[in-house]
Amino acid sequence: MTHFDAATLADWDHAHIWHPFTQMRDWLAEDPLIIAAGEGAYLIDTAGTRFLDGVSSLWCNVHGHRHPDLDSALREQADRIAHSTLLGLANVPSILLAKQLVELAPPGLTRVFYSDAGATAVEIALKLALQYWQLRGATRRTQFVSLTEAYHGDTLGAVSVGYSDTFHRFFKSVLFPCHRLHPPHVYRWQHGLSEAEALARAVADADALLRDKGEEIAAVLIEPLMQGAAGMWAQPPGYVRALRELTRRHGVLLICDEVATGFGRTGRMFAVEHEQVEPDLMCVGKGITGGYLPLAATFMTEEIFEAFLAPYEAFNAFFHGHTYTGNALACAVALASLRVFARDRVLANVGQRAEQLRDRLATDCGGLRHVGDIRQWGLMVGIELVRKRETREPYPAAVRIGVRAIKEARARGVILRPLSNTVVLMPPLCITEAQVDFLCDVAREAIKAATEMV
Ligand SMILES: Cc1ncc(COP(=O)(O)O)c(C=O)c1O
């Protein structure tokens, strides 16, 4: 690649790129940090400065940047072919990957439909659920249930089931209605209840809704164990299991969106394993390629798959596809990533590092005056900052406390991205003991500095 100096690149970025989830007025007022390279858990900017990638390049990096196995899988596949379509053709890496994914997935999920983003994996699950019930003759099952403040991606179907007023109010007129369940999130939604009471109430609410509307519901859709974008809302053990039992009892499909939690993030390959839950449909993305390339997959049961089998002229096929579905480069890298998972005992590292993180955060951050709550499942952490601990009074949006904290972290060598007033820590799964210590040191100092300022 031709070399351009950082100032020129910054000018061109400002002139042409609209960054996602970004108030561009703020973006244009500052010099962008431009990443030029990566190495392991580190990102390296154009000046050669190294930053710990504390959010895994938006929750997707697994084994680190420039991993030799993933790099060489990519090169080797590029020497064969980069892409051919799955419409009317098959390709080698997508077949090998599907076989391995099914072996790893919870029992019962035997089929894989590929796409290229978490949002598309969710759209596919929703459409499959709708068509499945139509094909089965249960024509009244046309509605969905999801969790309050759920996030499932930014396409319109995913936004309908994951509605958040702050993000989505401009699109309300075109979204389909969806039933909401309050999750057992103790700190904000079930304020004043113990975890056990919140869980009992959330389960009772789900039971009441399904008893009342069950025959009109196509599927319940959840982010199992941790609602990520809501602000890392952890669910107590038992919730996912209870929803599985209720959906079975009421004949409703359960869709688990493991786009953020899948591929080791919570310490198991998939979060539902913690609860021995077998969903009817499961969506994965992000970490599937180790964080290298856009690839996603929607898993489903044989029963759902078989409902679509019919004579051609019945036109019962699933009329859905994306140009890059089953992309060979992405599938080859995903296969390499799965080999690394097994060979390097990555999940064991997640367990150890998660424990270390839990202990360090409890001692270092738990006592800070403006830390309201620390929520964690595996290497997925949210530290909620509050103006007053006693009353859980949030900081007003204008204070931008999360943004202040991550700027302080960046000045100390760690890249983070907040969710409103919650500082997120989501390091790559390959993070070492020393790097966890560094991450915790910086998180503590950054939170102290940011909260002392206002
Ligand atoms: C649970 C969940 N589902 C879906 C998505 C959307 O994924 P993508 O950004 O790849 O469309 C995300 C992204 O953060 C997510 O956390």
Shortest-distance atom of ligand 1 to CA 229: 16
* 3-state SS assignment for residue 142: coil
> Which of 343, 378, 398 lies at the terminal end of a domain, its last residue?
343
Handedness of CA 157, 161, 167, 173 (dihedral sign): positive
Compute, in angstroms, the gap from residue 30 CA to the centroid of ligand 1: 27
Residue 53 lies in a domain: yes
Q: What average pLDDT does this structure show over 365-375?
A: 97
Reported as a single tens digit per residue, the pLDDT across 16-38 is 999 999 999 999 999 999 999 99
Helix (H) / strand (E) containing 197: helix 195-213
The proportion of the chain whose per-residue pLDDT surpasses 90, expressed as a percent, equals 96
Tell me, yes or no, whether 330 and 428 share the same domain: no
Reported as a single tens digit per residue, the pLDDT across 264-294 is 999 999 999 999 999 999 999 999 999 999 9
Reported as a single tens digit per residue, the pLDDT across 179-229 is 999 999 999 887 789 999 999 999 999 999 999 999 999 999 999 999 999
Residue 13 lies in a domain: no
Compute, in angstroms, the gap from residue 400 CA to the centroid of ligand 1: 23
Residue 2 pLDDT greater than 70, yes or no? no
Residue 17 lies in a domain: no
Give the count of alpha carbons within 13 A of 292, CB side only.
30
Tell me, yes or no, whether 332 and 350 share the same domain: no
Tell me, yes or no, whether 241 and 151 share the same domain: yes
> Which of 343, 367, 390 lies at the terminal end of a domain, its last residue?
343
Count other C-beta atoms under 10 Å from residue 81's C-beta.
Answer: 13
The proportion of the chain whose per-residue pLDDT surpasses 70, expressed as a percent, equals 100
Test site for ligand 1: of 60, 151, 160, 227, most ligand atoms within 8 A of the Cβ: 151
Tell me, yes or no, whether 296 and 363 share the same domain: no
Tell me, yes or no, whether 41 and 91 share the same domain: no
pLDDT for residue 1: 63
Tell me, yes or no, whether 385 and 328 share the same domain: no
Give the count of alpha carbons within 13 A of 73, CB side only.
23
pLDDT for residue 454: 86
Residue 8 lies in a domain: no
pLDDT for residue 166: 85
Count other C-beta atoms under 10 Å from residue 321's C-beta.
Answer: 15
Cβ neighbours of residue 228 closer than 8 Å, sequence gap 6 or more: 59, 151, 260, 261, 380, 419
Residue 287 lies in a domain: yes
Only one residue has tokens 């738990």, namely 366
* 3-state SS assignment for residue 406: helix
Helix (H) / strand (E) containing 337: helix 328-343
Residue 358 burial class via C-beta count within 10 angstroms: exposed 0-12, middle 13-18, buried 19 and up: middle
Reported as a single tens digit per residue, the pLDDT across 120-142 is 999 999 999 999 999 999 999 99
Tell me, yes or no, whether 173 and 82 share the same domain: yes
Tell me, yes or no, whether 132 and 238 share the same domain: yes
Shortest-distance atom of ligand 1 to CA 154: 11
Crossing angle for the helix pair 328-343 and 68-80, to the nearest 10 degrees: 150
Banded pLDDT at 438 (limits 50, 70, 90): very high
pLDDT for residue 224: 98
Residue 28 lies in a domain: no
Q: Is 238 left (phi over 0), alpha (psi -120 to 50) or beta?
A: left
Residue 16 lies in a domain: no
Tell me, yes or no, whether 243 and 224 share the same domain: yes
Only one residue has tokens 């319109």, namely 156
Residue 253 burial class via C-beta count within 10 angstroms: exposed 0-12, middle 13-18, buried 19 and up: buried
Q: What average pLDDT does this structure show over 36-64?
A: 98
Mean pLDDT of the chain: 97
Domain that holds residue 386: 33-63+345-453
The CATH number of the domain where 428 resides is what?
A: 3.90.1150.10
> Which of 343, 361, 394 lies at the terminal end of a domain, its last residue?
343
User: Based on the structure, what is the number of domains in the chain?
Assistant: 2
The CATH number of the domain where 336 resides is what?
A: 3.40.640.10
Q: Is 99 left (phi over 0), alpha (psi -120 to 50) or beta?
A: alpha
pLDDT for residue 189: 81
Tell me, yes or no, whether 86 and 221 share the same domain: yes
Tell me, yes or no, whether 163 and 288 share the same domain: yes
Q: What average pLDDT does this structure show over 95-123?
A: 98
Test site for ligand 1: of 155, 168, 233, 286, most ligand atoms within 8 A of the Cβ: 286
Question: Atom 7 in ligand 1: which residue has the minimum CA distance?
Answer: 118
Cβ neighbours of residue 145 closer than 8 Å, sequence gap 6 or more: 178, 179, 180, 181, 206, 209, 210, 217, 219, 220, 221, 252
Tell me, yes or no, whether 45 and 75 share the same domain: no
Q: What average pLDDT does this structure show over 443-451?
A: 98
Compute, in angstroms, the gap from residue 265 CA to the centroid of ligand 1: 14
Question: Atom 8 in ligand 1: which residue has the minimum CA distance?
Answer: 118
Residue 7 lies in a domain: no
Test site for ligand 1: of 152, 221, 256, 417, most ligand atoms within 8 A of the Cβ: 152
